[in-house]
A and B are shown apart, each in its own frame.
Chain A
Amino acid sequence: MTRTLGRIALVLGLPAILLVTWWFASAGSTSFYQPPLETIVKVFPDTWTAARFKSDVVPSLIRLFIGYGLALVVGIGLGVLIGANRRLRSLLEPILEFLRAIPPPVLVPILILIAGIGNPTKVLVIVVGGVWPVLLNTVEGVRGVDDVLSDTCRSYKIHGWLRIRTFILRAASPQIVVGARQALSICIIMMVIGELLGATDGLGYTVVEFQRGFQIPEMWSGVFVLGLLGVLLSLAFTLVERRVLNWYHGARAAERSGH
């Protein structure tokens, strides 16, 4: 029993101390732009009502998941194509290396100019940000597949879609997951930027709206929600990753313990 108590203390210890110090440090704060933590917490329930969730949080999330999904599909699709073909890879590598280096936010103004500020642009902005880490890590993963396995596939006549599905994609999955995690954090940033640069709904828009309306505690609560979104998505990602890569972690553990 004490062991689990100990573990809980460790997990909640520091966060509790930090929150408490912030609570008291900001308690007496008269500064308009740094309201007491207490007011922020008090304002939370009636700011983030079910209606607000439906009108702003849900649109943001839908755009994020569609954009992130597309980034994965396009990134992995092209990645497998390029990774498997040596000549295609050396043909495209310099271009990809350059396009990857472009900081995604730079593309937002041009995308707004071209496609306007509707939802399609917001999704496009997210895809453009997220596709690069996925694409390049997939190419890396596909390139690094074990050639003994590749020979096994050839001799046992496993090819076509079966080969891609059960060999190439699975063998490259640890590296693809690295790319997918990087893409997730970039996509969240791009989601917010897309909403800050001219939007009529969404999380980023709401935070700007609060700021323009001098609703500072609500603005802080909006920042909390954005932060929480990042944390929850990262947690969800870890759970999915643990399931998708349990074979990988098992194999590495076996290998490391000299099995």
Chain B
Amino acid sequence: MTTSPPILRRAGDNPALLGLVGLLGFGALLEILPRVGVLPAEYFPPTSKIVSALVDEFGRAGFWRAVAGTVTTWLIGLTIAVVAGIVLGIVIGSIPALRLATASTIEFLRPIPSVALLPLAIVLFSAPVRSILLLVVYASFWQVLIQVLHGVTDVDPVARETAASYRLGRWRQARYLVWPTTLPYAMTGIRLAAAVALVLTITGELLIGGTKGIGEEINVAQSSIAVPSMYALIVVAGLIGLLANLATRRAERIVLAWHPSVRRELPL
């Protein structure tokens, strides 16, 4: 084995290096097991085959169009959900009567699995992209709305009284008091929404099809039983997910640079 104990011991105290060793080990493992026959190579191609399939995919123009397709659908759906979530969140959140009236509806609609809307989406919207967007927006909207509602209701009552005592108008109150408190929650909502939106984008592409996207590429690969390229596409989907996570975390740090890192993701 390449990694002898001393390296492990020296890497022991440096997590980044250890993480790398972990990754390489994982890759090596997936290389050896199929070759040795522990895993059926037909369905578990060795890593080298997957990597070469990945390189082939990178070479194909259709691949990049598919990646672009998935990312655009994902971003459009996410943006609609985020804007709607924040606007509705602040409006509903800052009017207690509205907050109480809508609570039960929100609590009823939120857990409905967006994929349940799939048959409706196919039938209601003839253009496949619209149906997928319905799923993506529906799934990610609630993530943002719930967090923003928490943010608005978490505004410190004392701060609210001081703002009122200085006769800050409702609009200015929203701008200088509600928004800064809600922002960290909104960012959490966006981070959760981004992940869910990607899952639903690819689900839509897989089940509805008819749009340029990774999901469709996987369907094509499955039909021609091109197993290595299926894995390559899975790796790509994972990378997109990873980049999405890193990007949203990065954005969070920038936007919340001024905010004490104390930000509770409510265990609801």
Contacts and interface: CB of A to CB of B under 8 A. Distances in A.
| A adjacent to B, CB under 8 Å | yes
B242 A97 contact: yes
A103 B22 contact: no
A227 B117 CA distance: 9
A185 B241 contact: no
B58 interface: no
A14 B117 contact: no
A114 B21 contact: no
B26 A95 contact: yes
Interface string B196-239: 00110111001100000011001100100101001101100111
A197 B206 contact: yes
A227 B267 contact: no
Given A14-B102, A102-B237, A113-B222, A185 B111 contact: yes
Interface stretch (B81-89, B118-126, B160-168): B118-126
A57 interface: no
A241 to B, nearest CB: 9
Interface string B237-259: 11111101100000000000000
B116 interface: yes
A253 interface: no
A15 B227 CA distance: 48
B115 A193 contact: yes
Given A14-B102, A113-B43, A231-B108, A102 B234 contact: yes
Contact of B206 (A105, A114, A192): A105
Given A11-B104, A178-B265, A208 B19 contact: no
Contacts of A185: 111, 113
B265 to A, nearest CB: 7
Contacts, number: 166
A223 B215 CA distance: 23
A196 interface: yes
A15 B105 contact: yes
Contacts of B218: 106, 109
B132 to A, nearest CB: 12
B238 A196 contact: no
Interface residues of A, number: 64
B111 A234 contact: yes
Interface in A156-180: 174-175, 177-178
A146 interface: no
Interface in A168-224: 174-175, 177-178, 181, 185-186, 188-189, 192-193, 196-197, 207-208, 210-211, 216, 219-220, 222-223
Contacts of A108: 206
Contacts of A91: 18-19, 21-22, 25
Contacts of B49: none
Contacts of B103: 10-11
Nearest to A112: B222
Contact of A227 (B20, B113, B225, B239): B113
A70 to B, nearest CB: 19
Nearest to B238: A102
Contacts of B202: 103, 105-106
A55 interface: no
A177 to B, nearest CB: 6
A92 interface: yes
Contacts of B120: 220, 223
Interface string B94-118: 0000001111110010111111111
Contact of B118 (A14, A90, A110, A196): A196
Interface in A53-87: 87
B36 interface: no
B231 A227 contact: no
Interface string B23-41: 1011000000000000000
Contacts of A107: 234
A32 B113 CA distance: 24
B12 interface: yes
Nearest to B234: A106
Given A95-B23, A109-B218, A193 B237 contact: no
27 contacts: A14-B102, A33-B124, A90-B16, A90-B22, A93-B22, A94-B19, A95-B23, A95-B26, A98-B242, A100-B241, A101-B195, A101-B240, A105-B202, A108-B206, A113-B230, A178-B267, A189-B199, A192-B113, A192-B115, A196-B118, A211-B122, A216-B123, A223-B119, A227-B112, A231-B108, A234-B111, A245-B267
Given A95-B26, A110-B234, 13 more contacts: A14-B105, A15-B104, A90-B18, A94-B22, A98-B238, A103-B198, A103-B201, A103-B237, A113-B225, A192-B115, A193-B203, A196-B118, A223-B117
Interface of B: 12, 15-16, 18-23, 25-26, 43, 100-105, 108, 110-120, 122-124, 195, 198-199, 201-203, 206-207, 214-215, 218-219, 222, 225, 227, 230-231, 233-234, 237-242, 244-245, 265, 267-268
